[in-house]
């Protein structure tokens, strides 16, 4: 028990018979009182800005539920923005009081993700004083929240029990999230929820056992009775299946915005067949050489695909034709300008379970073939796991799409503003071709070829410049043994 006079406790919270007072703001009985040295407060935990331009995120998975105790840096939830998947960790030691969003909900940046009860003895933090945060209350233990009117509190004998009005709905506890739900597409989760299907009953046929939309549909068809209890086949229904409206995923939403903006670009298309026979032969020799393979492994790479060579050859070509490594600059009231980029930052389009992502390899002009192979593998692994950071997908000056790894030969890739070009690589194929020998005789030989499809912004790039750059790139790939003479 601490004994003080009123004059010695300016601004301090005091209690008497369960009533909360502020010394100096109310009249106090002339008797001794005690002070509480610690207070628990319920704070709104705001969703921080996880990247430039991000205004909302989709809740992918909760790692906590109401009533759980967490410490600083414990994982709270996983969110998916337009560009990346990010794990949110706790900034406090405390107890989760309320979760404000369910899995699949879109949470606005700056809005409260949840309410957490913490010890406020360290004083308020920056997000406690955020003007957008709702006012807090006196909790059931008699502690005072920072935004409460103390004159009003002094008149109350019973603390209010009104819950924190952060949102209109209460989320499901984290334990109700189906296993592997975070790896499913939102459309699949929507289908499961719509038809009230337990995820554990569905057999996934996707990579790593991931449940696909087709798996859910097969499960629904299997559970639909086609015979009655007597074994007599029932009449088939003629009711057509219902349409399902699903929201765009964050990745699809980003693609929608980017491609809509690309509609204003006049595309010039140019395709070219490139002989990659020597490239394939060199790769095989490299991978069959133990010393070369050890050097590759020492740099963090496990394989040597054609993509590092293609990326480096593009960098070599635009060194000679720098207008392809540029961007348009539009300023209000000023004439359009062309910014010639000093660095060759090449974005590589990658197909992932959550959609198309484009991580960027920075300063390709300073990379070797082996270091490019290691960087491509590193970014590919992060993309598959949904762990690409927003910074790893910013700053591209050129784009390469290796669509041939899936299929197709000639494509028409779409330019992403403000860049002025994109290159798509088709699937290689072996073809017969006549080759003239030194003695002038011609013989039929097998060649491996791939079609390179270029799209260029015709407002600033003419066809001749694009064709010359494409020929320069083809030269390096068709004479790949010479490429090392000019590489760093």
Name the residues annotated as catalytic: 458, 462
With beta carbons less than 8 A apart as the criterion, state whether 324 and 338 touch. Answer: no
Distances 479 to 125, 346, 483 between C-alpha atoms, Å? 62, 22, 7
Half-sphere exposure for 415 (CA within 13 Å, toward CB): 27
> Which of 106, 116, 98 is closest to 172 using CA atoms?
98
Per the document, the length of the chain is 488
**Beta-bridge mates of residue 19:** 16
Largest CA distance in the chain: 119
Query: Could you give the CA distance from residue 168 to residue 98 in angstroms, rounded to a whole number?
Result: 12
Residue 116, H or E segment = strand 112-119
Annotate 241-273 with DSSP letters as a single string. Answer: PPP---PPPHHHHHHHHHHHHHTTS-EEEEEEE
CA 324 to chain centre: 28
Which tokens belong to 354? Answer: 């959550």
**Token pair 């790593």 in the structure block, residue:** 208
Query: Could you give the CA distance from residue 235 to residue 223 in angstroms, rounded to a whole number?
Result: 16
Half-sphere exposure for 197 (CA within 13 Å, toward CB): 25
Q: For 135, phi and psi rounded to 5 degrees? A: -65, 145
């Amino acid at each position: 028990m601490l004994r003080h006079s009123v004059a010695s406790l300016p601004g301090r919270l005091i209690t008497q018979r369960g009533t909360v007072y502020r010394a100096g703001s109310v009249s106090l009985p002339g008797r001794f009182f005690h002070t509480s040295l610690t207070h628990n407060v319920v704070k709104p935990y705001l969703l921080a800005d996880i990247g430039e331009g991000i205004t909302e995120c989709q809740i992918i998975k909760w790692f906590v539920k109401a009533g759980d105790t967490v410490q600083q840096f414990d994982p709270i939830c996983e969110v998916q923005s337009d560009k990346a998947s990010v794990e949110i960790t706790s900034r406090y030691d405390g107890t989760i009081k309320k979760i404000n969003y369910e899995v699949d909900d879109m949470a606005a940046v700056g809005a409260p993700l949840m309410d957490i009860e913490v010890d406020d003895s360290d004083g308020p933090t920056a997000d406690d004083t955020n003007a957008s945060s709702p006012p807090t209350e006196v909790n059931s233990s008699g502690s005072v929240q920072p935004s409460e009117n103390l004159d009003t509190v002094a008149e109350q004998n019973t603390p209010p029990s009104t819950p924190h009005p952060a949102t209109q709905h209460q989320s499901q506890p984290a334990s109700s999230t189906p296993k592997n739900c975070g790896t499913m597409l939102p459309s699949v989760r929507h289908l499961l929820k719509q038809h009230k299907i337990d995820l554990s009953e569905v057999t996934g046929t996707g990579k790593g056992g991931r449940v696909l939309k087709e798996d859910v549909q097969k499960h629904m068809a299997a559970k639909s009775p086609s015979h009655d209890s007597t074994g007599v086949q029932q009449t088939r229904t003629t009711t057509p299946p219902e349409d399902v409206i699903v929201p765009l995923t964050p990745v699809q939403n980003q693609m929608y915005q980017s491609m809509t903006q690309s509609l204003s670009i006049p595309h010039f298309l140019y395709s070219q067949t490139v002989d990659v026979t020597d490239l394939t032969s060199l790769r095989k020799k490299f991978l069959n050489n133990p010393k070369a393979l050890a050097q590759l492994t020492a740099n963090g790479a496990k394989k040597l695909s054609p993509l590092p060579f293609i990326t480096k050859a593009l960098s070599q070509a635009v060194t000679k034709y720098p207008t392809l490594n540029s961007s348009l600059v539009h300023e209000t009231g000023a004439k359009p300008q062309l910014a010639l980029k000093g660095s060759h930052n090449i974005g590589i389009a990658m197909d992932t379970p959550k959609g198309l992502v484009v991580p960027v390899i920075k300063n390709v002009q300073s990379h070797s073939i082996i270091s490019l192979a290691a960087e491509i593998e590193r970014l590919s692994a992060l993309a598959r796991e949904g762990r690409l950071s927003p910074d790893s997908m910013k700053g591209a000056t050129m784009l390469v799409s290796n669509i041939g790894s899936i299929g197709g030969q000639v494509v028409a890739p779409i330019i992403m503003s403000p860049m002025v070009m994109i290159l798509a690589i088709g699937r290689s194929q072996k073809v017969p071709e006549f080759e003239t020998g030194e003695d002038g005789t011609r013989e039929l030989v097998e060649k491996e070829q791939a079609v390179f499809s270029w799209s260029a912004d015709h407002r600033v790039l003419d066809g001749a410049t694009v064709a010359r750059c494409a020929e320069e790139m083809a030269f390096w790939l068709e004479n790949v043994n010479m490429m090392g003479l000019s590489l760093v």
